[in-house]
A = this chain, B = another copy of it.
Amino acid sequence: MRNTARWAATLALTATAVCGPLTGAALAAPATPDSLHAPSALVLAVAYGDDATLAAPARAVTLSCAPTASGSHPDARSACAELRGAQGDFDALRAREDVLCTKQYAPVVITVDGVWQGRRVSYERTFANECVKGSYGTSLFAF
């Protein structure tokens, strides 16, 4: 029994010695996925309709966020910052309160496909009209 206890103590110490510094480093300076160059490459497309499978894309842009912000998106740097701020969750982008839109139904559908920080993305979101689309977030959907 004492031997078991000694082993347990040794294991605990070893675990602390091995994992401790790693944990410390992770806490001190979290390795961001960007710095690890996890691939982040997206295509954002906009189509007029309420279903992406039925509406041909009117515009499409690329957006790379690692190692640096680039792509045919008109403001890649801001779009990447916005997406990082939302931790890659497109649904987390909320409507800005300073934009007033009519309730006219002229649907606009946004799709996002590709890879974000090493994970596959396939996202679709329909807005009631172009104004409502523009009221979500700041730069990501502005293309």
Contact = CB atoms under 8 A, between A and B. Distances in A.
A138 interface: no
- A interface bracket (residues with beta carbon within 8 Å of B): 20 to 34
A41 B118 contact: no
How many copies are assembled? 2
A57 B118 contact: yes
A56 to B, nearest CB: 6
Interface of A, helix, strand, loop or mixed by DSSP: strand
B60 A62 contact: no
A139 to B, nearest CB: 17
A120 interface: yes
B58 A41 contact: no
5 contacts: A41-B60, A42-B43, A45-B120, A57-B120, A62-B114
Interface of A: 39-43, 45, 52-53, 56-64, 70-72, 111, 113-115, 118-120, 122
